[in-house]
Amino acid sequence: MSFSSLVSDIAYRNSERDDLRSQASRARSYASTTATSVSISGDISSQLHGGYSHPLARAWQAERQLTKSMLIYPLFISDQPDEEILIPSLPNQYRRGINKLVPYLTTLVAKGLKSVILFGVPLAANAKDALGSNADDPKGPVIRSIRLLRRSFPDLFIVADVCLCEYTTHGHCGILRDDGSLNNALSVDRISDVAMAYAAAGAHCVAPSDMNDGRIRAIKLKLIEAGIAHQVVLMSYSAKFSGCLYGPFRDAAGSCPSFGDRRCYQLPPGGRGLARRAIVRDINEGADIIMVKPASQYLDIISDAKELGKDLPIAAYQVSGEFAMIHAAASAGVFDLRAMAEEATQGILRAGATIVVSYFTPDFLDWLSN
């Protein structure tokens, strides 16, 4: 074969191979285009699965991820110093006397507990009266516990719930008129005095839960007058709804009303607009943190609170009934306890809360460490 014939033959074979490669490429392109047109409709941005295909990538999708610093653990403090009694309707939760607090909390603080909220439970004879006189007793369970915890755990953030229901013979959240209705003016004056006593004892935060009109302004003014407004956080239960989810708490705190109910001062479950007005009012009166209670049934209100108080931290109280329901369903095999606790809490965070008051706190201290 001549040299020119050889060159011509090689060129032909290369051209043939190029044609085959081109045909294969066109076939692949056609297959890809066909598959795409079949598997997705619309823009390529509809392909989402890759963005959460890895556990860490899934975690990154959350706007807020639960941390230990977001949790506040409720504690029921008895005036019986050595008491440690399981609360039957509140799984794994106890009412404790002051002598039992430090041994119990030492382990939790070591695991990363950052904050507690204190509820006093007076059990002694004649501990209750119509005015809730023992709410700010220096020898009462809350003030003694504040001082003890400040000494024992200097880095623990102490919130003191402020209300009269545990300390009144009638079980309502303020002082009553002769006809049994709430006397708002007297109640606000009394509630603000109790808040001041807790702040003076060393509480980092006072949290009025009574729902009397104007109590945030009254407390803020007294904190300013006392010269301690710069060092005390004022957390308002701004949107606290009436309902049936508080039963286990009332068992623990002994705070059931002796007559009637609290619908005249706690918000009606359907009152979204009323809740928004209460939130705006408390922001304007000087609240540092806005709380919504209960949590899971009121995610829209948590979202509203974040919208209205966009520059404030938003707290949500996952109340005793919510906690008990999750435990009951898990015990019945409906779902895994941890999975549901985490899912419910993630919903609360997604709605806008950055603080969660939760009875699951001891569990989360372990779960978040694993």
Backbone φ, ψ for residue 341 (5° rounding):
-60, -45
Largest pairwise CA distance in the chain: 125
pLDDT at 86: 94
| End-to-end Cα spacing for the chain | 77
Q: Cα separation of 65 and 59, whole Å?
A: 8
Matching residue, tokens 């006093």: 120
CA atoms within 13 A on the CB side of 13: 6
Active site residue 240: yes
Q: What is the pLDDT of residues 70-111, one digit of tens each?
A: 999 999 999 999 999 999 999 999 999 999 999 999 999 999
Q: What is the DSSP letter of 135?
A: G
Instruction: Give me the pLDDT at residue 340, please.
Output: 98
In the DSSP assignment, the letter for residue 68 is G
Q: Where are the domains of the chain?
A: 64-367
Catalytic residue (one of 222, 293, 306, 310): 293
Catalytic residue, candidates 128, 220, 240, 306: 240
- CA 111 to CA 288: how far, in whole Å? 28
Q: What pLDDT is recorded for position 317?
A: 96
Please tell me the predicted confidence (pLDDT) of residue 7: 45
Backbone angles phi, psi at 17, to 5 degrees: -65, -40
Binding residues for Zn(2+): 163, 165, 173
Residues of each annotated binding site = 163, 165, 173, 250, 262, 320, 359
Task: Tell me the pairing of strands 84-86 and 115-121.
Answer: unpaired
As annotated, the binding site for 5-aminolevulinate includes 250, 262, 320, 359
Residue 25: the pLDDT is: 56
pLDDT of residue 209: 86
At residue 38, the pLDDT reads: 46
Residue 342 amino acid letter? E
- Which residues of the chain have a pLDDT value below 50? 6-7, 30, 34-35, 37-38, 258-262
Q: What's the pTM value of the predicted model, to 2 decimals?
A: 0.85
Tokens of 182: 């709430």
Residue 78, phi then psi, degrees to nearest 5? -85, 155
293 is known as an active-site residue: yes
- Options 3.90.700.10, 3.20.20.70, 1.10.760.10, 3.30.230.10; CATH for 64-367 is 3.20.20.70
Lookup: tokens for 231: 């060092």
